[in-house]
Structure 1
């Protein structure tokens, strides 16, 4: 009797031993009844966007696993269910976490590595791609400027939403406050100056990429031509490193920061369609 086709991928939760502490991870084993396609390492977004998009990322991970990909989701240091306070998070520690996770995947799957980053995770994936020798980078609505991400994060501050007399009224004022105090809390997430400086300094236009395919999915919003033009300029820069950019515009403009879960079925469907063929 033939074995039934797997409809639910096998998911294994576990903790990495890392410095410092441990990292929570989910491994989605590839469907053994289809030809193996390689490995995908997921790089989650920043601060509150992690919990808001967790279900969407899990659904896409399962879809990848059904297609034959080995998928690893890791909570970076100070994030999610991993050890450490968010205020202790550092860009370099997060890049080390990705290197550890990529090595773990490589021990179990010899196929090409795809780095899949969401929002700020997209910029982190780009920054880590050369070291990890990624063959593909998948970007979901990425920040291409770390400074833009931090400014958006600061705009969520209660001090700006409902300013008291004499309170800061701009992101510049909040940045000045951060510089004086060494840390600032926004929406329950405290960030320290070293992390903010490292994120500010990261810009997609200046990352060194390996020869790889970059698939950028973005909701173009009210100015699709401007978004497409930005993608074209980045593509020209990356082409010098041997990287090829494929820009996939999507309709609409979701509100990423807010309460409740966020799911974008059209984004998941378009991604699955691409990876069911040959995304290279």
Structure 2
């Protein structure tokens, strides 16, 4: 006799209708044969890192769902398949999108623990959002802990692309690009129209200074070799957060930096480590 087939988690694509337009979303329902264990709201990375991370985010969302978690992925305003131009993006608008998504997910998982799961700048956004939202924990994948670091890296990538184009007149420094942005209010970098108000809000965000509520933070850092040097940074920020009742767990993982690869890459070690932690917690 053949063994019965397990019912796979259900994935439901849909759009949120909000005042400023639609937001594309994917809901991964928890595996029906398991008792629901919690809810996880995904906070995607910045600009092209969103596209590079989609496969890893989907693979992990499926693993979470198979372990009994309800997972919601949302493309925020001006990103992915949602409405809006990137030039109109604002940090607070993204937080508004997350609140709409969090409330929707909480309504479908009443009484269950709510986690935010952020990748790269999405990790910093998740931490900022957690300061004013009822959440039980935050999952960080290779997060930026300082917004200015993220913007500087993004600008350097833009400069590198200009150099490849071979036009000396377009070369410059990050400081010059920032001055140009401040003067014009808008700057094109790698095909993205970057608005000064968004950059200023990101620059001002520092994880160490955020008043997080009491919760657990699981920080997964992946690189090749494993990023052990970040453990000192994790210890420093853990001491600051502990004053607010936050418990930080740091996991250095050896694996390919999928968010910046030229092709669509995977990091199996990161998937395995994250799944192991949340299977054990459940």
TM-score above 0.5 = yes
Map of 1:61 onto structure 2: 61
- How far residue 49 of structure 1 moved from its aligned partner, in angstroms, is 0.6
Unaligned segments of structure 2, at least 5 residues: none
Map of 2:269 onto structure 1: 266
Report the secondary structure of 2:77's partner residue: coil
Map of 1:107 onto structure 2: 107
CA distance in structure 1 between the partners assigned to 2:277 and 2:93 by the alignment? 32
Question: Equivalent residues in 2 for 1:85-124 (5 A)?
Answer: 85-110=85-110, 111-124=112-125
Maintained 8 Å contact 1:151/1:171:
yes
Unaligned segments of structure 1, at least 5 residues: none
- How far residue 12 of structure 1 moved from its aligned partner, in angstroms, is 0.4
Maintained 8 Å contact 1:160/1:169:
no
Question: Equivalent residues in 2 for 1:1-280 (5 A)?
Answer: 4-6=5-7, 8-110=8-110, 111-157=112-158, 158-162=161-165, 164-219=167-222, 224-252=227-255, 254=257, 256-278=259-281
**Change over 3 Å in CA distance of 1:225–1:10 after alignment to 2:** closer
How many residues align? The count is 278
- How far residue 17 of structure 1 moved from its aligned partner, in angstroms, is 1.1
Measured against aligned partners, the alpha-carbon deviations of 1:235-268 in whole angstroms (never above 9, x if no partner) come to 0011011110000011256263243212211101
CA distance in structure 1 between the partners assigned to 2:183 and 2:198 by the alignment? 15
**Change over 3 Å in CA distance of 1:54–1:224 after alignment to 2:** closer
Compute the RMSD of aligned alpha carbons.
1.9
